[in-house]
Amino acid sequence: MKIRYNTSFSKALRKLDVQKQNSVRETIDRFRKNHNDPRLKNHILIDNLKGCRAISVDRKLRIIFREFENYHLVLFIDVGSHDKVYR
């Protein structure tokens, strides 16, 4: 799996406090090892985010991404609170 980071993802990650940044990195490591890990709650999005997927970092924090070629390439698009990323 190749992972790429959109500029908006990188900017949003830098805005998080250090503890949340570390949680995001741990979640990405878990995702890289097994994108179907049930703790990630990997799911398809609809409406204005159709074509994207989301995983959970914790109860409030989400990562939005697109996957290509059956997870051969993943582009992380955004990270933030549930209300921020699902706008």
Report the run of H or E that residue 28 belongs to, with start and end: helix 18-33
pTM of the model: 0.92
2-85 in CATH: which number? Answer: 3.30.2310.20
Rounded Cα distance, 70 and 77, in Å: 17
Summarize pLDDT for 4-13 with one digit per residue, the tens: 999 999 999 9
* Domain residue limits, the chain: 2-85
| Average predicted confidence (pLDDT) for the chain | 94
Rounded Cα distance, 84 and 24, in Å: 16
Rounded Cα distance, 15 and 69, in Å: 31
The Cα-based distances of 4 to 10, 19, 76 in angstroms read 10, 22, 6
